[in-house]
Amino acid sequence: MKYTKELEITKKAAIEASKIITEYAERTSFSIELKGKNDLITDADVASENKIIEILTEAFPEDAILAEESSQRTELPSGRVWIIDPIDGTTNFAHGFPAYCVSIALWDNKSPKVALVLEVAKQELFTALEGEGAYLNGKSIHVSGNNDPSASLIGTGFPYRDLHLVDDYLKLFKRLMEKTHGVRRPGTAAWDLCNVACGRFEGFYEYGLSAWDVAAGSLIIKEAGGVVTDWRGESDWLFGKRIIAGNEAVHAFLGKEIRQCFSQQDLTHKKNSN
């Protein structure tokens, strides 16, 4: 099977990173700094990222890296690139709220090939290889078969840097509160996407996310039979900062609701804003 070695090395890197994160979580204190408004970084993010990059570059020295804390990029190179979030859910981690994960994806020629999300506090390991299905702790997973939006559970995240779309976001939130079983905000987008992949959420939407938040979870959803697009229903979701994911029916429902709440121009990301 293609990319089997890459998946094995990815697992090794994630497990080593998870040990480091757990060790920091058990300490009485660690350093928490601000990268920007409400945008936290801890010692654990840096240590986790260093370990992941060390393991991946030792095995695949030619590959490019796009990583949240050390090597951000705004577009993909043409060959192989590892997209890494060393702790997705840093705010949860910094506050001791047990929902944070390591997210690692390999993209080759601008298409996702290998994906792993390891939720550290619960030790849930989600993996996918292109064309080979999606797995949670080794068991095959599938998106929810519940196609009724009024009986669906929806995941989302709240923006915290640029709040200029918040009024429309709250309008959407109110509509979804009225039209679904409920909306949840776990605080870790990579794991939120995996909750769609294994059928806990029927759908998920957010704006302001970065490539490292969504690069792995989106392949896991697709391999679990789900759909991922931007807010226009198109494919600019990796750098486009607007994502909708779900089973087919709830994805379509969310797209319709979003397009009714936001102006045409706010459906797409403009550089230097969310």
Site for ligand IPD in 19-78 (CB under 6 A): 68
How far apart (Å, rounded) are the C-alpha atoms in residues 127 and 134?
A: 6
- CA distances 121 to 5, 92, 99, 261, Å, are 26, 11, 6, 35
Q: Which is nearer to ligand IPD, 83 or 189 (CB)?
A: 189
Tell whether residue 217 is a contact of ligand IPD (CB under 6 A): no
CB count within 10 Å of CB 147 equals: 15
Contact window for ligand IPD (CB under 6 A) among 15-23, 194-202, 205-213, 263-271:
205-213
Q: Select from 149, 157, 217, 255 the one that contacts ligand IPD (CB under 6 A).
A: 157
Q: Select from 10, 42, 48, 90 the one that contacts ligand IPD (CB under 6 A).
A: 90
Contact window for ligand IPD (CB under 6 A) among 2-10, 85-93, 131-139, 222-230:
85-93
Tell whether residue 208 is a contact of ligand IPD (CB under 6 A): yes
How far apart (Å, rounded) are the C-alpha atoms in residues 243 and 156?
A: 10
Tell whether residue 187 is a contact of ligand IPD (CB under 6 A): yes
Number of residues that bind ligand IPD (CB under 6 A): 13
How far apart (Å, rounded) are the C-alpha atoms in residues 246 and 196?
A: 6
Residue with smallest beta-carbon separation from ligand IPD: 157
Is residue 246 left, alpha or beta, with left meaning phi > 0 and alpha meaning psi from -120 to 50?
left
The torsion defined by the Cα of 180, 136, 43 and 271, in degrees rounded to 10, comes to -50
Q: Which is nearer to ligand IPD, 129 or 217 (CB)?
A: 217
Which residues partner with 112 through β-bridges?
Answer: 107
Q: Give the interface with ligand IPD as residue ranges (CB under 6 A).
A: 68, 85, 88-91, 157, 187-189, 208-209, 213
